Amino acid sequence: MLDSLAYWHWIVLGLVLLILEMLAPGAILMWFGAGAILVGGLLFLFPEMGWQWQILIFALVSFTSIFAWKRLRHDNPMDNTDSGTLNQRGKALIGRQVPLVEAIKNGVGRVQIDDTFWRVEGEDLAKGSLITVTDADGATLRVEKSG
């Protein structure tokens, strides 16, 4: 069965693995797909290549790619969750100065920032007072009087 592998078998396998990578997270199948496509290309250029060499090249390229990618990813992390504000809209608002749309009474009020109304906590202040966002906790902003 392995003797009858044609170059297009490898290319189809590689494309299937790349498609599966889109459905499953982890960036592992992508490297196996790349290895299969490379073996398909080599088999097209060298049709006399035995199945043993095909499997060996596939395994070497796939696993080497995975380990190289993991190493590169470890050395250069792309997302630093400690410093980013992605998916943390409240944190992105820290430092903004806006007027209160609802007075802060008993430590709670409301502001409008862009198109969103936010619950705020801070010292009691009158409606229209200019405040600065100092911290965020979920959908609640901690504020203090500006200037």
Reported pTM: 0.52
Domain range list for the chain: 2-75, 89-145
Q: Write the CA distances from 96 to 2, 114, 126, 127, 132, integer angstroms.
A: 65, 11, 18, 17, 6
Average pLDDT, integer, range 136-147: 90
Segment 35-57, tens digit of pLDDT: 999 999 999 999 999 999 999 99
Report pLDDT for 82.
Answer: 56
Which residues does 114 contact at the CB level (< 8 Å), separation at least 6? none
Q: For the structural domain made of 89-145, what CATH number should be given?
A: 2.40.50.140
> Residue 30: what are its φ and ψ, rounded to 5°?
-60, -40
